[in-house]
Amino acid sequence: MNVEIFKNGTSVYNETSESVSVWPLDRDTVAVTTPYVADDYGDYKVVMTAMQEQEDGVPENNVYTDTFHVNDSIFSYSDFKPESHVSTAGHGNNDGDACGIKIDIKEECEVNSISVFIKQRAENPIASTQPGMGFQYWVYFQDPEDLNFYPLIPSEFTEVEEEMINTWVTLPLEKDGESEFLTPGSYIAGIQTYHNGGAGADNNFFRFTIGADQSHHYNPGKTVYNLGEEGVWNNLEEMGMIQLNLNYAGGPSEVDVVFNVDMTLPIAEGIFVPGTDFVDVAGSFNGWDGAGSHLEDADGDGIYTLSIPGFKAWENLEYKYRINGNWDTSEFPSGGPNRMYSTSFYNMLDDIYNDGMSTVGVDINALTASMRVYPNPSKGIVNLEVTNTRAIDLIISVSNIQGQEVYRNIVKSVISHNENIDLSEYGQGLYFLKVNDKVTKLIVK
């Protein structure tokens, strides 16, 4: 097993375990024993690669990659995108139940607030968070003697409003000049929920749900729940989206974003002529007015680049690339979709103009015959069958209820096309399958 860690795009760690002999269908363990401690702000990517002497029939499943950020004020194990949900509905479902994230504080700090992603389940909105339900944030501390967690500092009690649903909600903690100063030890950042159904309520009608992150993998036991028994917390499998916000500064507040776009297809089609035409990027950062500078191809490889400084860290951007500043010949004509990106400390974008489609500057071909999707609802794997009367290109994409694309496939010049789409890793919920101009709802149970 080789483990390589990149900090802001630069390799800072590369270690390989000793080899072991593993029999087919057996499980064994390899150990990379040299520790790595991230001691600076930045974006980190961990790449783990399994290696073997024999020829591997499926080499693409030998690599696992995960990313994490070290910043100043946010302590969170989850990312910012909910793939599923968390609640105590399957464990008691009482008013006053709590969900939380275990956090180990390594040095003294001051806590300011807690943020939680308040989520309503698209596939079953009744059995999830509703306006009028109540909640309160708490920080719990672990008693070093009995090892149980007890309330330390709360936020004010708040009722859910419509605009809070499916977004992050931040509440300040009620500081008393003492409790907000955390010393090294174990804590829980939690949310105590009130669905107004009393004790042991029917979770088909009374259920307070928060977002869950399924795209990052951690040991079980990070997310916990409490059913009102003082100090006693139990483990939940899903990674709840709860952030502890600290009164701390020092991390970069402004970052550079490097835009890279592959223009080789427009060049080959004669739609873009190097040295005569230009490509720019316009988006929410310049008011969609095209005020940005032109991208340049210094080495003539067809990849055009522009570095723009001064973006805020953790800011959401929408943007498109355009030829000669013309919206009519921009990528994704007819108004959408826009590209979406959330800035962090290291921002190196690698895009392909118009996502590599040959229909630059014109509308995507409409389907001319039929599209069949089955089973629907499904357990995560759906079959797609498309039939046309003439050969056309297909853009196949699946987006979740938040509009985040979770699957994309581009098929060139086909009359009929069949494929299986696996959404099982993204969890239960409502998804939208789009094939060119046709959109179908998918339900994953």
Phi and psi at residue 327, in whole multiples of 5°?
-65, -30
Is 50 exceeded by the pLDDT of residue 159?
yes
Per-residue pLDDT, 366? 55
CATH number of residue 180's parent domain: 2.60.120
- The reply to whether 104 and 231 lie within a common domain is yes
CATH number of residue 331's parent domain: 2.60.40.10
- The reply to whether 422 and 303 lie within a common domain is no
Per-residue pLDDT, 351? 93
- 141 and 132 Cβ atoms separated by less than 8 Å: no
Reported as a single tens digit per residue, the pLDDT across 310-327 is 999 888 888 999 998 887
Residue 362 lies in a domain: no
pTM of the full structure = 0.70
Residue 361 lies in a domain: no
Per-residue pLDDT, 140? 97
Residue 8 lies in a domain: yes
Reported as a single tens digit per residue, the pLDDT across 145-155 is 999 999 999 99
**Which residues constitute the domain of residue 424?**
370-444
Q: How many helices (H) and strands (E) does the chain have?
A: 1, 30
Reported as a single tens digit per residue, the pLDDT across 61-88 is 899 898 889 999 999 998 888 888 999 9
- 423 and 396 Cβ atoms separated by less than 8 Å: no
- The reply to whether 409 and 277 lie within a common domain is no
- The reply to whether 83 and 228 lie within a common domain is yes
Q: Please, which pLDDT band fits residue 360 given cuts at 50, 70 and 90?
A: very low
Residue 365 lies in a domain: no
CATH number of residue 416's parent domain: 2.60.40.3080
Higher pLDDT, 124 or 361: 124
- 120 and 129 Cβ atoms separated by less than 8 Å: yes
Residue 23 lies in a domain: yes
Q: How many CB atoms lie within 10 A of CB 196?
A: 14
Q: Decide which of 55, 70, 85 is a domain's last residue.
A: 70
Span of 72-86, 112-126, 201-215, 424-438 with lowest mean pLDDT: 424-438
Mean pLDDT score, 288-300: 82
Please state, in angstroms and as integers, the Cα–Cα distance from residue 108 to each residue in 180, 183, 246, following that order: 10, 5, 11
- The reply to whether 189 and 263 lie within a common domain is no
- For the CA atoms of 192, 209, 67, 75, the dihedral, rounded to the nearest 10 degrees, stands at -20
Q: Please, which pLDDT band fits residue 362 given cuts at 50, 70 and 90?
A: very low
Per-residue pLDDT, 363? 44
- The reply to whether 10 and 23 lie within a common domain is yes
Q: Please, which pLDDT band fits residue 358 given cuts at 50, 70 and 90?
A: low
- The DSSP element (H or E) to which 419 belongs, if any, is strand 405-422
- The reply to whether 295 and 425 lie within a common domain is no
Residue 309 lies in a domain: yes
- The reply to whether 289 and 189 lie within a common domain is no
Please state, in angstroms and as integers, the Cα–Cα distance from residue 322 to each residue in 298, 327, 356, following that order: 19, 7, 14
Which two tokens mark 207?
């259920």
* Cα-based angle 142, 111, 160 (whole degrees, multiple of 5): 95
- The reply to whether 227 and 122 lie within a common domain is yes
Q: Please, which pLDDT band fits residue 369 given cuts at 50, 70 and 90?
A: low
Residue 270 lies in a domain: yes
Strand pairing of 254-262 and 348-352? parallel
Q: Decide which of 187, 212, 246 is a domain's last residue.
A: 246
| Distance, CA of 310 to CA of 91 (rounded, Å) | 47
Fill in the amino acid letter for 324: N
- The reply to whether 78 and 62 lie within a common domain is no
Number of separate domains in the chain: 4
Q: Dihedral sign for Cα 328, 331, 334, 339, please.
A: negative
Residue 31 lies in a domain: yes
Q: How many CB atoms lie within 10 A of CB 284?
A: 14
- The reply to whether 94 and 239 lie within a common domain is yes
Per-residue pLDDT, 411? 86
Per-residue pLDDT, 336? 60
Q: Decide which of 70, 100, 117 is a domain's last residue.
A: 70
- The reply to whether 167 and 65 lie within a common domain is no
Is 60 exceeded by the pLDDT of residue 309?
yes
Indicate the SS3 state at residue 267.
Answer: helix
DSSP-derived letter for residue 378 is B
